[in-house]
Structure 1
């Protein structure tokens, strides 16, 4: 049955579903703008700090430790975020404060290449990122009616991913061309701008967002699942998020190091990866709303495995020595793009699966679990792959990553889970 929609002008002026303004509401638009601008400070710095650390003699393991420290404090913060959102008015202040904590220390990176200070600044920034990720994912779901949740998480994923198409490679290019100082200052300012924009979410749409934000601990949709969702319901998507995020962290953290002498290839791989994530995540979100269920989790995992295999072949062939040939470059670029496509689909399918199983009253917890899977996997991937790379090299390390993803394919069968019916 086809769902009818009012004209776009009516949608922008009239609350939908349970009284929320929906995708066209000013609150949701401000959240998307704050995410697109504010998280540039995350995307650009993620490959820059490891590269900056290696210039100070830290080696691959030291480079991975900077990312791991960032992700460790991110996860520790995320563990406390559900309580803060529900009991300390966190929906009002967590996002802007998190952007400030993430952005203000960023220029300090330029002061030294010593590993200790780099790890310390990374750890502080991780606290801010942990606040932003959990609050942002939960807000994206809470600011829209149930029938728009797939697209809402898709738009949120676009806001996270689209800037990365330019920022992931652009940050590396900017640092190599104009200096690391300039890159760190500009990315820090982006996060501060995100704080300013996100502060307006609370006041947008004539205050209609406020009940949704204040009512975090109670369901605003009668009949929806309560906050006490069984842990087993989130276990399979959490494992899938952990593994695919580890593989993504390996790509983002380490691909620029063996290819530093071939800046166009490193930048191109990061750009195609980010573009693939955007396309994959948006496609999964749109299909979820049309079909009322998650359908791309297993295909997304299979595509992620294929992309990792291609990247592995390219890095193994290249060996980190000399200029890469056409075959090597093609494998690295296509592998990054294909992996990004699968990873984007897995991102959106796992987050909508968790949110559907948790229900509105459990959005904070589901958001925290999903983000812990994402960021915990990223930290583990950075440290684990750093150790393996130092021992075996880039090709074998990425091959192990591909094998781990392939072993998890049976878990992706949990994806065919319908969203709970909306009761208005």
Structure 2
């Protein structure tokens, strides 16, 4: 394994000529905005990862290069020349000073494609989770889809359960389910009115007939003086009287029947009260039957909610087992929304700046090539956080090339942190 010994660039973007002799040490590189810090430290590795900027040459220049010399003696060179047809050349010089083409196989051996520390720290929780999954070879796509569906099903089931719970009412288990028959009572009430109307009609008829009979008798007396002339008329009137008497006798006979006596108002009131009581009982029976149906719906909703919760928990266990089976880097874990580090959510609210950067560097080191060098922007780190990161890197034998802004806008400078060549 090697580290970066020296970087030399010429006519690269904003830089005319610049050489930095790191000698394998961690270094802090400072400079004002647009002075070319990132271009100096990233252009050649990015080019070897097939990341090529639109503008390479410094304005006004026709050719330039970026050369990285490693502590093990190899050199990697990117030459760019706008006067040639191809426009660039990638060269590899072995530690025995043998020059050859810098192939994609060699490029990936020294600088493999993969982890971008600064980008990872800027990403949101879900994207960070995807990156960590990819690093450890986990794919949660299918299980996350099932979990999301199961979670939504549980949410809907619990909502339906609460709706069903809110509809529950007390149940009288001793009450009949069939409503009482009120038709017969209503018939009896209607019969009372009909019977009493008929009684009134008969009474009125009798009075009318009695009166008519009296009139007839008067008429007989009047007519008797004209017997000879009105004898035939008298006979008619007698017949009429006889017929009326028959009706009177029938009427009196009907009135004398006990069942035909007038029904008392108290009896009618009693029947009305009985009707009201029956109607109230039927309302209670109907409400009780509704309560039973509501209870049944609640019990069904409760079963659905429990089953939905069981599915969610089974998927959670499945997911936990899947995570346990993966070889996660020490200190890392997954949540539904993102990742954790040292048991805390991977956020600035939960972790110190140094912990976040050390975690990102730890992931980056999993995908490191033969060059044990990591680059990142430390613009947001204070002195103490940066010191913790440097200590961690030294313990893990890693070289860091750390960017920091120069707020005075000065040219690029570098400061070595350690003096041990690996």
TM-score after normalising by structure 1: 0.19
User: Greater Rg, structure 1 or structure 2?
Assistant: 2
User: Going by fraction, where is strand more abundant, 1 or 2?
Assistant: 2
TM-score after normalising by structure 2: 0.19
Instruction: Name the structure, 1 or 2, with higher relative contact order (CA <8 Å, separation 6+).
Output: 2
